[in-house]
Chains A and B, each alone.
Chain A
Amino acid sequence: EVQLVQSGAEVKKPGESLRISCKDSGYRFTSYWISWVRQMPGKGLEWMGRIDLSDSYTNYSPSFQGHVTISADKSISTAYLQWSSLKASDTAMYYCARWREDIVALDVWGQGTTVTVSS
């Protein structure tokens, strides 16, 4: 059974860097895509981008291109979302989810990681 376990909540200051993680605890990690989705407080879902775990090919939403980096380490079945310089507007819940090409949907979700950026 696929289970995506995300890293814990983070509190950071503006300008700091951050990397959060998403670990697959039960499936062949290399055989699908992982997407990252942002949910700002009280708001809807925003797709940030995805990574093909077989070859680390990435595909970003134009809204997030250049602002975050998505990467993965197949050897430890973990995907990452990274910021080099956080802003207060990055405060949000971030979810990873498995993308299934065959059903064109996100069928398994992590529990979410809360990121708070405040001076």
Chain B
Amino acid sequence: EIVLTQSPGTLSLSPGERATLSCRASQSVSSSYLAWYQQKPGQAPRLLIYGASSRATGIPDRFSGSGSGTDFTLTISRLEPEDFAVYFCQQYVSSPLTFGPGTKVDIK
């Protein structure tokens, strides 16, 4: 089973700042198989990024993904008030699909 580790656990930032979230895999993950999700309190997760760097339908371009191998990054270029949430990475190179533990982005 591929284990995903996310850092930091919590990121405290102000609106307008840049957020950089990390996802590290226990073994190499093809970039095609790495996705990111956003979850706000009381809501279902929402797909942000698939294939490590492709934005899902309707996702603003302030969200971007990058990385390869075992290290992946989600960047939010300028935080908007609605971006304060928890972010999860996910892989599916092989079953079982696994998620990282999440990074909470909260207001400083």
* A8 and B36 alpha carbons, distance in the complex (Å): 27
B56 to chain A: closest residue by CB: A107
On whether the beta carbons of B99 and A105 are closer than 8 Å, the reply is no
A46 to chain B: closest residue by CB: B99
Contact with B along A43-74 (1 / 0, CB 8 A): 01111000000000001011100000000000
Q: A35-B97, A47-B96 are in contact. Are A104 and B35 (CB under 8 A)?
A: yes
The stretch of A13-21, A77-85, A109-117 that contacts the partner chain? A109-117
CB distance from A8 to the nearest CB of B (A): 15
The stretch of B10-18, B19-27, B43-51, B74-82 that contacts the partner chain? B43-51
Interface centre among A47, A105, A106, A109 (most CB of B within 10 A): A105
A95 CB-CB contact with B under 8 Å: yes
* A76 partner residues in chain B, CB cutoff 8 A: none
CB distance from A107 to the nearest CB of B (A): 5
On whether the beta carbons of A111 and B44 are closer than 8 Å, the reply is yes
CB distance from A41 to the nearest CB of B (A): 12
State the B residues within 8 Å of A (CB): 1, 32-33, 35, 37, 39, 44-47, 50-51, 54, 56-57, 88, 90, 92, 95-102
